[in-house]
Amino acid sequence: MGKQAAAIAGLTEWAPKRVWDEPMFTMEACARLAAEVLADAEVDKGEVDGLVINGLRESPMFAPSALAEFLGIRSNFNEVVDLGGATPAGMVWRAAAAIEVGVCETVLVFCPSVPAPPQPGANGGPMKMKMGAYMGGEVWGSPQGQFEIPAGLVAATPSFAMAAQRYMAAYGVSEETLAKVAVDSRYNAQANPLAVFYGKPITVDDVMSSRYVADPLKLLEIVMPCYGGSAVLVTTAERAARGPHRPVYVSGYGEHLTHKSITYAPDIVDTPIRLAADRAFAMAGVSPDAVDMASMYDCYTITVLLTIEDAGFCPKGEGGRFIDEHSLRYDGDWPLNTHGGQLGMGQAGLGGGMSHITEAVRQVQGRAGERQVPNCDIAYANGTGGMLAEQVALILEGA
């Protein structure tokens, strides 16, 4: 029996887009997300007494208080989470834990990722997604700035490529097998009108003939950075039971990290996912074979292979065979990332990581439409941050 104190009661999610034509301040985006998620959960704003964010562009300091003031919320739990792609999963368990210990009852979890209105004097023009390649590592005293950046080990792709390279040398997975992850994700995206690649299926040949970006990873094995946003509402199980949707218990969770730069990972093909997932499954009191659908962070194809293994769905070294032997499609025998994953839906900043949670919630609530997995009661959702660094695993269970 897992934890049943807190449940996800509502969600909202915007379609990821390469170019965002409706610039918004982060606080304005949060207000819109709040209105939408409260409507979805049929919860009054006055019931909200917790806020979880990743930060606030308009208030780099004192971010939670700035948001509480902006939204008109009297808040008892105020958290800023900084775990890269694992942030959304980390936000959800922190909210659930805070509810369980009784410091708050109803928490809004925000993942906005939209451009601000153009600053007076700054250049206008269309706002395309751009992320600084150094990701803050250039500051004075940063080890990353002294050792990784001068070697060209920047952004994320080269780090994940080194994990894939090491994995191939150690276990011999083929590039075609990794390509299948991207192909099945795209298949799922064809059933998700929010997906950036809706209407654009691909084949293994397409992936194999796409250009190498960082060996052995090719263009179609890499997420498309987008703008977007999402939010979920976490509340007490009792309050969730009075809502319009099936409550989704946050019944188990785990978190683990050891390093920032991939250079210092203890083992780049035996990841922190293992300890995070082990704790989550133990807390929930379920085993991996009880999972009805999996929602795995998929910044790259290799991330999915490593997650399948390290979360315990198959032994180390057999992930390639597992991928070959199972259909990862929403109508297949092992439904994975039924929304298309970030590979198929697009990576809307933090919303990309949250998409794995919103989709798991939709599936457990039985509102995934065309891509609904029958009798979906237990979902595994996880987040991978940074360079296979931050790991958060969640077990989400229907009431």
Partner 1 sequence: MVHFAADGRPLPTPTPITAPYFDGLREHRLVLQRCPRHGYFFYPRGRCPVCLGDDWEWGELSGRGTVYSFTVDRAGHDPALASRIPFAIALVDLDEGPRLVGNMMDCAVDDITVGMAVEAAYEDVDDTTLLAFRPAG
**Binding of residue 152 to partner 1 (CB under 8 A):** yes
> Rounded to whole angstroms, how far apart are CA atoms 67 and 144?
32
> Rounded to whole angstroms, how far apart are CA atoms 244 and 251?
20
- CB nearer partner 1, residue 162 or residue 248: 162
Return the range that interacts with partner 1 (CB under 8 A); candidates 141-149, 175-183, 240-248, 294-302: 141-149
**Binding of residue 76 to partner 1 (CB under 8 A):** no
**Residues from 260 through 319 that contact partner 1 (CB under 8 A):** 261-264, 268
- Asked if 109 contacts 233 with a C-beta cutoff of 8 angstroms, the reply is yes
> Residue 332 is which amino acid?
G
- CB nearer partner 1, residue 92 or residue 222: 222
Q: How far is the CB of 243 from partner 1 (least distance, A)?
A: 44
- CB nearer partner 1, residue 127 or residue 155: 155
**Binding of residue 146 to partner 1 (CB under 8 A):** yes
**Binding of residue 135 to partner 1 (CB under 8 A):** no
Among 19, 39, 133, 208, binds partner 1 (CB under 8 A): 133
- CB nearer partner 1, residue 88 or residue 158: 158
**Binding of residue 1 to partner 1 (CB under 8 A):** no
Among 29, 71, 99, 154, binds partner 1 (CB under 8 A): 154
**Binding of residue 130 to partner 1 (CB under 8 A):** no
**Binding of residue 191 to partner 1 (CB under 8 A):** no
- CB nearer partner 1, residue 65 or residue 263: 263
**Binding of residue 58 to partner 1 (CB under 8 A):** no
> Rounded to whole angstroms, how far apart are CA atoms 99 and 102?
5
- CB nearer partner 1, residue 216 or residue 229: 216
Among 82, 215, 238, 370, binds partner 1 (CB under 8 A): 215
Contacts to partner 1 by CB under 8 A = 133-134, 138-143, 145-155, 157-158, 161-163, 165-166, 169-170, 211-217, 261-264, 268
